[in-house]
Amino acid sequence: MGTREHTRTQIFQVSTLYGAATLAAAIDIGRFGRPGRSSRSGAAPGNIRRVLLVSNNAEIPETALRLDTMAGYERIAGRFDTMIEWNHTIRPNHPATWGPRPDETPLWQRALRTAWGLGRGPVELIVESIQVNPAKALAAIFADSPVQVYADGLMSYGPTRSELPQSIACRIQRLLHLDLVPGLRPLLLSEYSVPAELVPDGAFRAVLAEIAVCAADDPQVTKAVEAAPTALMLGQYLAALGILTADEEEHLHTRMLRGAAAAGHRSVLFKPHPTAPARYSLALSEAAAAAGVQLTVLHGRLLAETLYERCRPGLVVGCFSTALLTASAYYGIPIARVGTSTVLERLAPYANSNRIPLVIVDHLVPDLESGAAPAVPGAAPSTLGPLVRAVGYGMQPNLHPLLRDETAALLTAATGDGGGTSRYFPRDRLTELGLPGGTAPSPASRLRRSLVRDRRG
């Protein structure tokens, strides 16, 4: 008992291997205390016990790909002393919807300390997506614990999805994120003055290389290498998010293939989203045959980054996947986009958290169907930061009121730009917020905005 009383427990909540790789890189360089692999003896170096808390947030977790079946998982898990399944802990509840009632949180903390062998020692939380469950539930249960947030994708550049309870916001110590767009600073949690801290490129790339080595003997990797692909297509399964219909997404994938073929690629890999329906592969096969392209479809347990390591494609094409920017930022692979204009028109509501990743890719990455050459974007251009802040204000004006004047100035300057900047701001949203480019507000809406300003003042 005495050892546990003096052991500090760090609970790392993850739902993806990409996120776990981000944490592994941060651990390796000492961002969470002394680096070092777990000895499986009950505590990591420096009297720290590291717990990997795995959450499967899929709509139907029982039918979704499990994190611990992904190629390379075991090497990542080796940095932790214990792996715990959050789904098992709270079943039959779903991780995305369950949270404790306020009067139950002390009981839940006692129960989890007993079940997980935490004793009475201090607990630190390292979580993703603090504004939603399961991270929000954990922060409520361990109500006195410091919180650190890590972001493993382009959503870190967007605003916090909703206002956080002050009891949680005041405990957030930092935001760890990847440098996917060098020079662009995250909006996430900035309204709470949470400092953003980069996970160094070299550390993250080293972890990705480690995962790729573990996957070297995987039959799908062997299949991919033998195909000698020069292009890789990324599926996102936007139909599952209600952004496109299944038929439209199927068509989007065939557009990617035709674009790659038109650019001269004759061997193409397609990595669908793990939950994509099988018929996507059939439609692509027919399109590949018509275009004279050798198509290799890979399912399941591989990170896209493993394919970058093992196959070294000359092109990665997608819609707005984070893996696009990983290809360019960490591997120097030219990238191209397809379909962002369509998704921009469909994405709703305006505060949808996919909007910032979509805007970044649309602004930075060449359009494959326009004939533009694929490219490695590099550092953020001077236009990107103001655009991201303006879109962020449009998404969450109540969280970022100080960005209003900057946003209005950008929109005023964009008047008559032929749709370059203004296409990111639907007229009805500008009207709702009383910004340049909207229609004249009605007396009722003017009164509502006046009341809001008075409350803020």
For residue 406, give every residue at least 6 positions away whose Cβ sits within 8 Å of its Cβ, in sequence order, or none: 386, 389, 390, 393
Question: CATH for 2-205, among 2.60.34, 3.40.5, 3.30.160, 3.40.50?
Answer: 3.40.50
* Strand partners for 297: 270
CA distance 303 to 288: 23
* Residue 282: its H or E element: helix 279-291
- Topology at the third CATH level for domain 216-370: Rossmann fold (3.40.50)
- List, edge to edge, every strand of the sheet that includes 123-127: 82-85, 48-54, 8-14, 123-127, 147-151, 172-178, 196-199
What was the pLDDT predicted at 39? 45
Long-range pairs for 141-144: beta carbons < 8 A, 24 or more residues apart: 141/100, 141/105, 141/108, 141/109, 141/112, 142/11, 142/109, 143/105, 143/109, 143/167
Q: What is the mean pLDDT of residues 97-103?
A: 95
Statement: residue 419 has pLDDT above 90: no
Instruction: Give the three-class secondary structure for 143.
Output: coil
* Strand partners for 196: 175
CA distance 49 to 83: 11
Statement: residue 38 has pLDDT above 80: no
Instruction: Count CA within 13 A, CB hemisphere, residue 29.
Output: 18
342 neighbors 320 (Cβ within 8 angstroms): no
For residue 357, which phi and psi values (nearest 5 degrees)?
-55, -40
What was the pLDDT predicted at 4? 58
* Residue 50: its H or E element: strand 48-54
* Strand partners for 54: 14, 85
What was the pLDDT predicted at 275? 60
What's the pLDDT band for 454 if we cut at 50, 70, 90?
A: low
Helices (H), 292-435: 304-311, 322-331, 340-346, 355-364, 384-395, 404-414, 427-433
What percent of the chain stands above pLDDT 70? 90
CA distance 36 to 224: 33
What was the pLDDT predicted at 1? 44
Average pLDDT of the residues of the chain: 91
Let me know if the fold of 2-205 is the same as that of 216-370: yes
339 neighbors 352 (Cβ within 8 angstroms): no
CA distance 60 to 234: 22
Statement: residue 415 has pLDDT above 80: no
What's the pLDDT band for 116 if we cut at 50, 70, 90?
A: very high
* Residue 89: its H or E element: helix 86-90
What was the pLDDT predicted at 156? 96
CA distance 134 to 333: 35
What was the pLDDT predicted at 441? 63
Kindly list the domain boundaries of the chain, sorted by start residue.
Answer: 2-205, 216-370, 388-440
pLDDT tens per residue, range 136-145: 999 999 999 9
pTM: 0.92
